[in-house]
Chains A and B, each alone.
Chain A
Amino acid sequence: MSVSNPLLLIAELSYKCPLHCPYCSNPMTIGDAKYADELSTEDWSRVFREAGELGVLQLALTGGEPLVRKDAEELTRVAKEAGLYSNLITAGTPFTRTRAEALKEAGLDNVQISIQDSDPVSSDHIAGTKSFAKKIEAAHLARELGFPLTINVVLHRKNLDRIEEIIALAEELGARRVELANSQYQGWAAVNREALMPTREQLEHGEQVVIAARERIGPKMELLWVLPDYYEDTPKPCMGGWARDAMVITPNGDVLPCQAASSIPGLEFDNVRDRPLAEIWFESDAMNRFRDFVPEVCKTCPLGRFEVDLGGCRCQALALTGDAGNVDPVCQFSPHHALVTDAVASANRLGRNGDGEFVYRTEKATARV
């Protein structure tokens, strides 16, 4: 297969974050010293220019919290000059008027604010810090300044029953797009799987509410709804395929095919401090490792689905089976599929009120599980 040029760059500017969400997509090892050695303004600027030359169209400025970087405005300006469509993915709490106005001026295209729940107390509980009121202020500010607004609410057992209120809140805030993605059980969310996994009943209700809301609202607010992989019979082609369209750059400059790939042992990640981005995209070991890879089971897929789901997620295969080269156990034909169905059965036995305390995201190594 010939390698095509990337479309999306996910720039994790810093792993520092005011929130402690228990399903954070950052690696468990965010406290490692190497991540504190963040790329300089000049490094990121060069990377954004190289990304534009390489054909990247979309830039996600994320973290952690991207606004802990004092140079977020300057980096936005560079992204604009490089022709990239910039999307700021923020907790909202540091999105103050001064910074928001500077970001607007710098040419930021879209603002995405995370909200943990429509209920303020629950939202603060999930975020592990008092933050709801500031998030609402930030969303109003984004609209006032004329930014298109995306509201992102990670769904799980403890907020799914309020999906109607969550959609109503997003409407009230004037969101153009709402991401209602159930948490997937990787990294921090794997540790919290029991506390997060909803029941089948909760998901069915959620889906009905989303379908009705789409019908009522029409195209003026787009509603994205994503099931937990565990409730599907076929896996999702993670990131649209390993290093096919997207790349992730960590705060210290490592280039990964997805946000969780550092969990896979034995992968050598190249760093933008050492090599040009184009070389890394086309030649690095980590990017090429699973590009043309077909798990054994997929070679004889009875549904002929390999080209659709690409064997699912390598990191999920690793997390559940210990081998990133296995088919994603979400697949009904995986020899390890029972790991998934057992977890689902257990979540449904517990019922919607089944508990489990959160293990919160932290950069302190001592809290690692």
Chain B
Amino acid sequence: MTESLRLEVPVLPNGFRLHWDKVRERHVLLFPEGAIGLNPTAASVLELCDGRRTVEDIAAELSQRFGGADVLADVENLLLDLANRGMVADVSQ
């Protein structure tokens, strides 16, 4: 299982997509047979998982939005948690 944890350039796996749920006014991640509601932080991270940006790029971009705070560890933890659940993959996979 360990190789899936090596995340450099995160991307949503095939069949996963972000969706704005206008009824419940939140982002959701949709995938085969399921959906999970996302908090605004998770949504803003996943929006940047485009298969081109590295984890560091994503953290840097969010850091700018949040007035320069160091968010790298938080971004890494969130992405690893989602990767463990099969909801994020590395683009090389």
Judge whether A55 is part of the interface by a CB distance below 8 angstroms.
Answer: yes
Q: In the bound complex, do residue B32 and residue A150 qualify as a contact, i.e. CB atoms below 8 Å apart? A: yes
For A220, list chain B residues within 8 Å (CB): 4, 86, 93
Known: A83-B19, A109-B15, A110-B15. A57 touches B32 (CB 8 A): no
Interface contact B23-A5, CB-CB below 8 Å? yes
Q: A110: which B residues are within 8 A, CB to CB?
A: 15, 32-33
Determine the interface band of chain B, counting residues with CB < 8 A from chain A.
20 to 34
A177 touches B (CB below 8 Å):
yes
Beta-carbon contact of A109 and B84 below 8 Å: no
Indicate if B85 sits at the interface (CB-CB under 8 A). Answer: yes
**Chain A interface residue bracket vs B:** 20 to 34
Interface residues of A in 34-80 (CB under 8 A from B): 53-55, 57-58
Instruction: Indicate if B73 sits at the interface (CB-CB under 8 A).
Output: no
**In this assembly, does A85 line the interface, its C-beta being within 8 Å of a C-beta of chain B?**
yes
Contact between A148 and B35, CB atoms less than 8 A apart: no
What is the distance, in angstroms, from B26's C-beta to the closest C-beta of chain A? 11
**Majority SS of interface residues in chain A?**
mixed
Q: In this assembly, does B59 line the interface, its C-beta being within 8 Å of a C-beta of chain A?
A: no
From the candidates B21, B84, B86, name the one contacting A57 in the complex (CB within 8 A).
B21
- Given the contacts A219-B4, A222-B86, A58 and B14 also touching, CB distance less than 8 Å: no
Rounded to whole Å, the gap between the CB of B61 and the closest CB of chain A is 26
Q: Which residues of B contact A284 (CB under 8 A)?
A: none
- B33 near A7 with CB under 8 A, answer no
Q: Could you tell me the distance between the alpha carbons of A222 and B84 in the complex, rounded to whole angstroms?
A: 11
B15 touches A219 (CB 8 A): no
Partner of A148, one of B1, B32, B85: B32
Shortest Cβ distance from residue B1 to the other chain A in the assembled complex, whole angstroms: 4
Q: Does A176 contact B (CB under 8 A)?
A: yes
**Interface residues in chain A, defined as those with a beta carbon under 8 Å from any beta carbon in chain B:** 5, 7, 53-55, 57-58, 83, 85, 87, 109-110, 112, 146-148, 150, 176-177, 215, 218-220, 222
Given contacts A58-B33, A219-B84, 18 further A-B contacts (CB under 8 A): A5-B23, A5-B24, A7-B35, A55-B23, A85-B17, A109-B32, A110-B32, A112-B32, A148-B14, A150-B32, A176-B14, A177-B32, A218-B1, A219-B4, A219-B83, A219-B85, A220-B86, A222-B86
Q: Please list the 6 inter-chain residue pairs (A to B) with the smallest Cβ-Cβ separation, ordered nearest first.
A: A148-B15, A55-B23, A219-B86, A218-B1, A110-B32, A85-B30
